[in-house]
Structure 1
């Protein structure tokens, strides 16, 4: 790998490339970057998928490193869900 392979460095699609002197090109680049940033922020399914993957990796690591802690976490989560279901059922029945 040579220096020419990494130069110029890759810009994220939400960045405006430096060195634009033409105001029209600069405005287009700013609009393109703004639309890309909006797309990244507004793409909820992709963000949820990423959060799900990060959480599952953390939970698997916890289960590997501390099985008793993972079991306690699972029991606490089940108790919380059960308590919520019970509270909702009780509120609905009244």
Structure 2
């Protein structure tokens, strides 16, 4: 009876990424379809720039939050320095434009 029990997903099979082709496909047509599907998924992963930018932004936010937790005073100094730099750049641009 214990063999009738459902096996958890982690023990029954390995979850492959969308861009991988599993081993053990004997049918050449099915193998070609699987390779094509994996190639198209890889192209989509590579060409989906907005998604990649979103992931990079999320990673940057996570790093900034971790840095803020470790060094709150240094984070405050960095924010003030950034605000001064942006203010100076805007002031310089307006000054050049009005001359």
Structure 1 length-normalised TM:
0.75
Query: Which 4+ stretches in 1 moved above 6 angstroms?
Result: none
Q: Could you say what the CA RMSD is over the residues aligned between the two structures, in angstroms?
A: 2.6
- Name the structure 2 match of 1:52: 57
User: Structure 2: where are the runs of 5+ without partners?
Assistant: none
- Name the structure 1 match of 2:72: 67
For residues 36 and 79 of structure 1, what CA distance do their matches in structure 2 show? Answer: 44
Tell whether 2:1 aligns with 1:4: no
- Report the alpha carbon displacement of residue 84 of structure 1 after superposing the two structures with TM: 4.8
Higher CA-based Rg:
2
Tell whether 2:37 aligns with 1:32: yes
User: Structure 1: where are the runs of 5+ without partners?
Assistant: none
Structure 2 length-normalised TM:
0.72
**Pick aligned residue for 2:24 from 19, 43, 51:** 19
Number of residue pairs matched by the alignment: 92
